[in-house]
Amino acid sequence: LNLAIKDFSDEATRTATNRINNFENLLIEKMTKVEDALTAFADPSFQVLLLEAQRTAAASEREFDFELLSQLMLDRFQRGQNKLIRTG
């Protein structure tokens, strides 16, 4: 039983990692097209949102979700000067 649980857990970890990588690839692709967007990764509040987005991506198998998450992160960077938006 313990071996089966470990095998399933390992499989889940691999699946989650693949999903996160797919999301991150989309995010990086979008952000490299916008001037200075990669600087967002130096912002702690952006990093917190990134962790939340990675968790969401890990739990989803839909490509549309990765696309939406990456666009939301890019929008967050583009409108990040507005403190109200950043707080939300």
* 77 phi/psi in degrees, rounded to 5: -65, -50
Q: At what angle are helices 44-58 and 63-78 packed, to 10 degrees?
A: 170
What distance, in Å, lies between the first and last C-alpha atoms of the chain?
44
Task: Tell me the mean pLDDT in the region 67-80.
Answer: 92
pTM: 0.84
* pLDDT at position 84 over 90: no
